Structure 1
Amino acid sequence: MPSALPLADPAPADGLLPHSVTDDAATRNLGIYVHVPFCRVRCGYCDFNTYTSEELRGAKRSDYAGQAIEEVALASHVLEASGLPDREATTVFFGGGTPTLLPVTDLAEMLAAIVVAWGLAPGAEVTTEANPDSVDRDYLFALKAAGFTRVSFGMQSAVPHVLATLERTHDPARIPLVVAWAREAGLQVSLDLIYGTPGESLDDWNTSIDAVLAENPDHVSAYALIIEDGTKLARQIRRGEVAAPSDDLQADMYELLDAKLAAAGYEWYEVSNWARTDGNRSRHNLAYWQGHDWWGIGPGAHSHVGGVRWWNVKHPAAYADRILAGLSPAAGRETLDAETRRVERVLLLTRIREGLRIDELEPSGRVAVAGLIADELVNATAALRGSVELTLRGRLLADAVVRRLLEA
């Protein structure tokens, strides 16, 4: 999760939620996110809430699984005490950081605690992110044995000089190995890419796309590189050491990726995500976009239940102190008002293929749809069915589409 935490109200020490979270709770799925905030090195572009060994200030990786399990127990108590119905977890996602820097036994123990607390719904999706150089065949087989169903490899690029600019440490030649091992273990595979890195040409990007297609993954994610303030890469650009990403080149890269994935049988289902079949979509991420409930475990993790959103203290040492004291690790929270929830629903649902129902828009937004169709930003056929579905051009200008749908 991003490292920046919003300003809001203090969170109660016991973590209990207001009764309002029970409204329509039975219609919402429950997902669990586990943030593992450890990395071997800090990549120059990254502003996520992650820590190398030198930045832990006394916190220990070896203690983390036990602390996360304590938060699982707290979460189970809070959801029950707040009057929410019993719900099995439909998705579990271990993200980071690099979850697979921990021993696989730690991931297995945390997942087992989640199963004890809530159970897993039939066919539940259980994912971990992994760097290609952080796992081997035995590790992937152990993940499958522990109950994981899916692994998301941070490939980012197949071109060495692009990986070097991003400060990624793996050898591109390792991708075919880890994909083969994951498939042998029976795990679904997602490959994650970044495009628009300084110095990356369209030919470089084409090389990475071809490398992805050669592995025939179940799922592909691709995100345009965003230069975040405070990162090493932002400082390098400010000093003129590397060039800033080009918006036009990033658009060309997106169009090339979409065309080649479509030709290979993949369909986009969210602006930055493609899947071979509906069953290969990331159901955990879809739950974020569709406004379901999730509890985020770990330092800096964000949660959302029934219109209440909160976030944990950021540093692993502060998180450990809260957990050891028997307190909620939440640093702050906010209760979303009806207007904020409406705006966020438009923003998030517009990003996914099924789109937003036109009848959910305010009158001004419904009027705007015709202009968006004329500008080839929204699919006319889908609009006749009552939905806002972005065209390829609309995906490239998704933020502008949302602004027009929300204009008063």
Structure 2
Amino acid sequence: MPWIVLAFVMGHMSINHITRQLINDPGLVDITGAQMILVIKLSSFAWNVADGRIADKNLSSAQREKAIRQLPGILDFTGYVLFFPSLHAGPAFDYMDYKRWLENTVINAPNDKDYAAKTGQKKNKHPQSLVPALRKGASGIIWILMFMKLSAVYYPDFYLGDEYLALGFLRRVWNLHMLIFTSRLKYYGVWALSEGACILAGYGYDGIDPITGKASWNRLRHVDPIGVETAQNTRAYLGSWNINTSNWLRNYIYLRVTPPGKKPGFWASMATFATSALWHGFYPGYYFTFILASFVQTAAKKCRRYFRPFFLDPQTSNPTVLKPYYDILSFLVTQATFSFVTAPFVFLTLDSSLKIWSGLYFYGVIGTALSTLFFESPATEYLERKLAIRAGTKKPIISRTKSSESASEPVIGIPAIQEEKIKDLLQDIKMDVTKN
């Protein structure tokens, strides 16, 4: 049943995506943005209902928490689906989170009791939300004002003209980065305003921050602007963007297409990629971005895995004196690469996307291809030996950090193209051939 629901809502939205693309009139009201949020809500609701009919022992802890054991009434259901503060731009959320907010039982953090004792508030009463809501709303207004100011300077039509191509290469890279930054500002603004509206309604409370001892309102956080703009690696960049959509893709696509007891493999990543791409629409620019980002994510993970240890003390893992230079270089490469990768997301069409990339000599494509070839060469063995000598060990040991391991999971539908998954694919094909 959940797959039927997903197919129906995705199919209905796809019709509107195609209609909007064919009409191509910016003056018309576009409903696909709100419909994208509804797809997340309705498909996740279907999975939660299905989980509610499965024994707890066969569910993960996250699935048990979200499982719907009893169908809601029509009023509660429509209230969830059409929750106004997040109706048009998100963030999307699961029904059980909405129900806990509705019943005022969302306050369940372990240290809420201590907080209630200090503040004199009842444990089942939300902390005051006006100030954090106003703070979030003010940040949204600031982002939008910045967008209005910068969009008059950095606008897409300029980049398709001869004046842009007449600039030097570094100027073109910088100008493209500013265009992509300006494009992100409108999302920062809209998402901050919608999140602030949710907080004002008392939705978004996430317990007490154990460090500050203050109430946290990040339950519905959809984007971390500072995290995106200061990211030094792909994981930090992608993990700070469209957070709730990433959670939906991971929990309801990536993990659901994987048979119970098995590890997600190549097909799970491809299914996630396809779902994310279709969810966004059918402009060629979306697919350029997603496909290239898949290879960028893999190449960047290997760069971090093989080069970062040279800037850490092999015994204590503390940063060396050269570590700041590595951080600066990785920041510049990450930002420049993703400005190139996400450019088609702004220009959308095939011709304009290729024109922008060609005007930059395809540096993102070439750099990613060279990195991929480099790590498929004997150079990796050389780096492993150097790291082993540096660490004083006989065997080449490359430790996997939590960050690098988690990077194998798709972020916003971008799967990492890994050797293990290619092997899984070949094994699956071999089994299919054997059966036939």
Which TM-score band applies after superposition, normalised by the shorter structure? under 0.3
Structure number with higher helix proportion: 2
Structure number with higher strand proportion: 1
- Provide the TM-score with structure 2 as the length reference: 0.25
User: Which fold has the larger relative contact order, with Cα–Cα distance below 8 Å and residues 6 or more apart in sequence?
Assistant: 1
- Provide the TM-score with structure 1 as the length reference: 0.26
